[in-house]
């Protein structure tokens, strides 16, 4: 077990080698889906599925307040004390340990805790956006939780969230919040040109096609951070355009470590290259800006109307 309090608290951009924590990542992804689906079923629909996302906090991730009749409640992941915190507007507080335990065990305890708080919430138990999913209540396979790597992941998300918010502040057109999608398990922010997009083909595993089509119903340039997966086994920042304009993938982008991935159809900047840069913030902002420029220039976005340079700090 890593002594994360000694090795990681002083490192703003911690190392996050995917092979060393992939089992924890897979389990945490599924736990986050359970919590996210609770928010999904209780929250009014917002365009582009913005109502489902989680948000960074100074200790982890939160649902933000979820309506339940005239009451509200929220669920927070705490990656410092490694607990799941449930709070309701009538003052009730409950906690669950974040520790090695199966997805099924996590689901059962969380369901029982909600019932104890008189919060009757039923979710669809099939995980979303994953091939060959195991229903939450049957999943005894995923049960890893390395507290040190969960903490590192959260600290990496903190830095990504902070820089993505600075990037978002430069844009005056329609833009999403910076938010964490539990389905794809990534932190993202999306800019919109204001024009309609061709119908998305759908086909995302265990996600209704109409959800993907509504999410991509308008022309976008989107970017974010993911921790890695079996298909791409390292953490990375990404940037893509939908629909992808002609010439986007061959456009020059910065820094030199960034590249276009033809299978993913996204520009990629490995997280490790950012954390090792002389200025990680500058390297990441350069990537975000240059890939957005590649999308906006190729697609003919109205730059004068919807873009302004960042103002210096006072």
User: How far is Cα 123 from Cα 120, in angstroms, rounded to an integer?
Assistant: 10
Do the domain assignments include residue 149? no
Residues 190 and 286 occupy one common structural domain: yes
**Tens of pLDDT along 67-88?**
999 999 999 999 999 999 999 9
CB 293 within 8 A of CB 239: no
- For the chain, the average pLDDT equals 94
State which residues form the domain around 93.
Answer: 17-138
What is the distance, to the nearest Å, from the Cα of residue 78 to the centroid of all Cα atoms in its chain?
A: 16
| Helix, strand, coil percent values for the chain (each to nearest 5) | 35, 20, 45
pLDDT of 3 above 80: no
Q: Which pLDDT score, from 0 to 100, does residue 312 have?
A: 47
Residues 274 and 176 occupy one common structural domain: yes
Do the domain assignments include residue 150? no
Among 138, 168, 185, residue at a domain's last position: 138
Calculate mean pLDDT across residues 90-97.
98
Number of compact structural domains in the chain: 2
Calculate mean pLDDT across residues 208-217.
97
Give the SS3 label for residue 266: strand
Residues 116 and 188 occupy one common structural domain: no
Residues 292 and 222 occupy one common structural domain: yes
Do the domain assignments include residue 11? no
User: How far is Cα 310 from Cα 86, in angstroms, rounded to an integer?
Assistant: 38
State percent of the chain over pLDDT 90: 91
**Tens of pLDDT along 229-267?**
988 999 999 999 999 999 999 999 999 999 999 999 999
Residues 131 and 191 occupy one common structural domain: no
Do the domain assignments include residue 5? no
Residues 126 and 184 occupy one common structural domain: no
pLDDT of 9 above 80: no
Do the domain assignments include residue 146? no
Calculate mean pLDDT across residues 200-220.
97
**Tens of pLDDT along 159-186?**
999 999 999 999 989 999 999 999 999 9
- Two structure tokens written together for 180: 């964490």
Residues 165 and 109 occupy one common structural domain: no
Q: Which pLDDT score, from 0 to 100, does residue 231 have?
A: 84
Residues 266 and 214 occupy one common structural domain: yes
């Amino acid at each position: 077990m890593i002594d994360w309090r000694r090795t990681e608290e002083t490192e703003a951009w911690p190392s996050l080698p995917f092979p060393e924590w992939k089992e924890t990542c897979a389990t945490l992804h599924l736990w986050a889906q359970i919590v996210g689906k609770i928010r999904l079923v209780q929250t009014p629909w917002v365009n582009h599925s913005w109502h489902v996302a989680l948000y960074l906090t100074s200790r982890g991730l939160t649902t933000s307040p979820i309506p339940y009749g005239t009451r509200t409640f929220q669920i927070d992941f705490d990656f410092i004390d490694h607990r799941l915190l449930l709070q309701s507007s009538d003052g009730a507080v409950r906690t669950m340990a974040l520790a090695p335990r199966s997805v099924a065990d996590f689901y059962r305890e969380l369901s029982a805790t909600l019932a104890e708080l008189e919060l009757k919430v039923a979710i669809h138990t099939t995980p979303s956006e994953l091939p060959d999913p195991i229903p939450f209540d049957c999943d005894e396979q995923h049960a890893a939780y390395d507290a040190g790597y969960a903490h590192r992941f959260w600290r990496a998300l903190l830095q990504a969230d902070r820089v993505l918010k600075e990037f978002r502040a430069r844009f005056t057109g329609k833009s999403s919040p910076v938010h964490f999608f539990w389905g794809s398990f990534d932190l993202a922010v999306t800019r919109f040109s204001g024009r309609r997009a061709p119908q998305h083909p759908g086909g995302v595993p265990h996600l209704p096609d109409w959800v993907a089509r509504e999410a991509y119903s308008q022309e976008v340039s989107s970017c974010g951070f993911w921790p890695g997966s079996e298909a791409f086994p390292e953490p990375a920042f990404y940037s893509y355009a939908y629909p992808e304009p002609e010439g986007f993938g061959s456009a020059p982008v910065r820094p030199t470590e960034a590249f276009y991935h033809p299978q993913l159809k996204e520009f990629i900047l490995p997280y490790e290259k950012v954390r090792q840069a002389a200025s990680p913030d500058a390297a990441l902002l350069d990537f975000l800006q240059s890939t957005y420029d590649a999308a906006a220039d190729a697609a003919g976005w109205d730059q004068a109307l919807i873009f302004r340079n960042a103002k210096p700090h006072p």
